[in-house]
Amino acid sequence: MAVFKINGPKLELVKEKKIDLEKNIQKLTEDNLETVFGYQFIATELRVDNFRFDTLAWNPESKSFVIIEYKKDRNFSVVDQGFSYLSLLVNKKEFFLYEYFESTKKNLSRDEVDWSQSRVVFISPNFTPHQINSINFKNMAFDLYEVKMYDNGTVLYDPVKAAESSESIDLIMGEAKAEKIIKEITNYTIDDLFKPSWAASREIFDILDEKVMSLDPNIKRNIVKNYVGYKIDQKNLIIIKMFKSGPSIEFNRSQPSDFSDPEARVNYLPNSMKFYNQHISYFQLATIDDIDDAWNFIKQVYKRFMEKE
């Protein structure tokens, strides 16, 4: 996609720069992991067994490790390399806990890590159609980002979206090879957050989800094990948790008094400062009729969010 800058009444094309070295991508990304992805940098250029990977990061939101690999050439298999790295995360957990301690000087037990949300991220100037198609499986815990640099100093990390699929990766990997990894690591989808009997709750969520995603083109949906987060610039605007009785919206950094809420429908999450170090309020939906109030509260949060940015 072409990028332009405003020059008076005209638009001027911003030329894309060639990325000469793989190391250039790696250094830039590692220095800005929190800004770009919300990750914490742990280590670089790690070797374990016969493998070497570029960056180890920690995702504090999902409490899981992320392996990042940078590619300048296009001749590699996303599936083979990605599953090799996921296998390391499954089978060499003590190694990753040790690296976390070396970086942060904080102990992290195996039980404090959600290994099921481990990810492998590939970053490259371009991916082939075959590489992009290879992530179109429901249990593929890989993310692809195309990185672009421009003459005006702009850098773009563009996520490659996988097509929705109900097919499992073990169809091409072979059941025996993929079984252990698939069993322990889950690429969570919205369907995973609902039980089959929660049809009414799902209907409410789907309507609400469509409205939230239409609020701002910069909102990104982030599906994790226990909720769906809606982020702008790596910060959750809201999160939605799923229950049989209906979805519950949590508003970070908010108290009930922050809302225009004549009927006092927004509640305070007890002990939120103690456990999360921030005030959190929530609104529980029970029927489709509650969507109007929910939408009103979300717009209030969005307005405050944008005013602070």
pLDDT in tens, 233-255: 888 999 999 999 999 999 999 99
Q: What is the pLDDT of residues 52-61, one digit of tens each?
A: 999 999 999 9
Query: Do 9 and 32 contact (CB within 8 A), yes or no?
Result: no
Sequence ranges of the domains in the chain: 10-184, 190-308
Residue 16, CA distances (Å) to 2, 3, 13, 156, 284 in order: 9, 8, 9, 10, 47
Bridge partner list, 220: 231
CATH 3.30.2000 fits 190-308, yes or no: no
Residue 54 is given by DSSP the state E
Determine which of 148-157, 181-190, 204-213, 222-231 has the lowest per-residue pLDDT on average.
Answer: 181-190
Residue 28, CA distances (Å) to 31, 108, 210 in order: 5, 27, 34
CA nearest neighbour of 255 among 214, 294, 297, 213? 297
Q: Angle CA(227)–CA(159)–CA(117) in degrees, nearest 5?
A: 35
- Res. 169: pLDDT tops 70: no
Q: Is the dihedral of CA 179, 184, 187, 190 positive or negative?
A: positive
CATH 3.40.50.970 fits 10-184, yes or no: no
Beta strands across the sheet bearing 228-232: 220-223, 228-232, 235-241, 248-252, 280-284, 267-268
Determine which of 38-42, 94-98, 138-142, 214-218 has the lowest per-residue pLDDT on average.
Answer: 138-142
- Assign residue 63 a region (left: φ > 0; alpha: ψ between -120 and 50; beta: otherwise): left
pTM for this model (two decimals): 0.81
Task: Please indicate whether the domains covering 10-184 and 190-308 agree at the CATH topology level.
Answer: no
Q: Give the per-residue pLDDT at 171.
A: 45
Average pLDDT estimate for 288-303: 97
Q: Give the per-residue pLDDT at 178.
A: 60
